[in-house]
Chains A and B, each alone.
Chain A
């Protein structure tokens, strides 16, 4: 399948968009999905186990020694900035870390394994809210802003509601 995809990529890019089904068709399918839903207790147990594992892995990733230079703000406790290694809010499922290196800022967005951290919009704003630069995360959630002037800024990931202050020393 991957080979077929590589061969035909240009043709797919040039093709007309697949139209979505008519609203009535989608509504009917959604209604049937709801009406006939019969979850099992076993399925629920295995899903809860998966959620617990995901949460454990997420917290473990934030506690890695290599990330000790990152300050992390959890989405659940948006006012708090946690210096690692340290405690992370109990129900946080997204975090934003950054490190200042000279006039550059590099950072990373962390999400639980349920979600991809790729292609998230990251903004760098002046403290008065004015937008300075925008960037997007790579597949691992990493991003960077280069050649900044000394001063105080804010890093934001708007879709996740993550905000973190940044200071570039003179």
Chain B
């Protein structure tokens, strides 16, 4: 039985494309939190978020045939998520009577900023949730001895001395483990980012694409 959890995205995507359903399910599991977080942000309610989530994976399913090795799966997924969110927003507006099919056909595709509320920046939200997801995945991979002090420090806001007392270890050990844990997370996420070549330069590309309506 392959250990899919240790496979890189590209191999999972390639195996999935070749007919390995379990590899596809491993991708779904790996990116479920990220995709659902974005869907929740753009869905009008939980039901809508769930529908967008399913639509993302259905669309990915249809399009995976065009996936090529080393395309960069996360960048690929990001494009799919973004297009589903825009489609959903478009449908919603049509349903609400703000935009007719005829209007879309005659005047070309509406700009993203026309479809989504002014304060929403899809591209920025995707990048932000993706990075948050990668950091939290890297934290979950840490051995307990690093993860525990790191979470107590960053998430619970406890001081080194309090953590030392709670975990019954010297304060210097706590300091070292927080530092090392953070460094391991940093290195792991950078490694993932470099596995996905199209992710590297996307910060400049991404920020500010979903602009405000005039």
Q: Which A positions have Cβ atoms within 8 angstroms of B? A: 1-6, 8-10, 12-22, 24-26, 28-30, 32-34, 36-40, 43-44, 46-48, 50, 111, 114-116, 118-119, 121, 136, 139, 159
Q: Are B189 and A18 in contact (CB under 8 A)?
A: no
Which single member of A5, A10, A16, A115 contacts B190 (CB below 8 Å)?
A5
A32 to B61 alpha-carbon distance, docked (Å): 9
Residues of chain A within 8 A (CB-CB) of B155 are: 13-16
Given A1-B193, A43-B18, A114-B2 contact (CB < 8 Å): yes
Q: Which of B121-142 contact A (CB under 8 A)?
A: 127-129, 131-136, 139, 141
Instruction: From A2, A38, A48, name the one whose CB has the most chain B CB atoms within 10 angstroms.
Output: A2
Q: Is the interface of A mostly helix, strand, loop or mixed?
A: helix
The reply on B186 being an interface residue by CB < 8 A is yes
Can you pick out 18 interface pairs between chain A and chain B where the beta carbons lie within 8 Å of each other? A2-B203, A5-B193, A9-B135, A9-B185, A13-B135, A21-B36, A26-B28, A30-B25, A32-B54, A33-B25, A37-B19, A43-B17, A43-B19, A47-B20, A50-B11, A114-B8, A119-B141, A139-B187
Q: Are B186 and A33 in contact (CB under 8 A)?
A: no
Given A47-B18, A50-B14, A33-B57 contact (CB < 8 Å): yes
Smallest Cβ-Cβ distance to A32: which chain B residue:
B58
CB distance from B5 to the nearest CB of A (A): 9
Q: How many chain B residues have a CB neighbour from A under 8 Å?
A: 66
Residues of chain A within 8 A (CB-CB) of B21 are: 33-34, 37
Smallest Cβ-Cβ distance to B24: which chain A residue:
A33
Q: Are A12 and B61 in contact (CB under 8 A)?
A: no
Smallest Cβ-Cβ distance to A15: which chain B residue:
B132
CB distance from A18 to the nearest CB of B (A): 4
Smallest Cβ-Cβ distance to A13: which chain B residue:
B154
Residues of chain A within 8 A (CB-CB) of B6 are: 111, 114-116
A118 to B42 alpha-carbon distance, docked (Å): 36
Residues of chain A within 8 A (CB-CB) of B14 are: 43, 46-47, 50
Chain B window 145-177, contacts with chain A (Cβ cutoff 8 Å), 1 for yes, 0 for no: 000001000110100000000000000000000
Q: Are B34 and A18 in contact (CB under 8 A)?
A: yes
Stretch at the interface among B82-90, B93-101, B102-110, B194-202: B194-202
Smallest Cβ-Cβ distance to A118: which chain B residue:
B188
* Given A16-B155, A24-B50, 6 extra CB contacts under 8 A: A9-B185, A17-B136, A20-B32, A22-B46, A39-B17, A46-B69
A48 to B86 alpha-carbon distance, docked (Å): 36
Which single member of B19, B35, B150, B187 contacts A13 (CB below 8 Å)?
B150
Chain B window 1-38, contacts with chain A (Cβ cutoff 8 Å), 1 for yes, 0 for no: 01100111001001101111100110010001111110
Smallest Cβ-Cβ distance to A19: which chain B residue:
B33
Q: Are A2 and B65 in contact (CB under 8 A)?
A: no
The reply on B214 being an interface residue by CB < 8 A is no
Residues of chain B within 8 A (CB-CB) of A5 are: 131, 134-135, 189-190, 193
A146 to B188 alpha-carbon distance, docked (Å): 26
Residues of chain B within 8 A (CB-CB) of A6 are: 186
Q: Are B11 and A1 in contact (CB under 8 A)?
A: no
Q: Are A114 and B7 in contact (CB under 8 A)?
A: yes
A9 to B190 alpha-carbon distance, docked (Å): 11
CB distance from B64 to the nearest CB of A (A): 9
CB distance from A111 to the nearest CB of B (A): 7
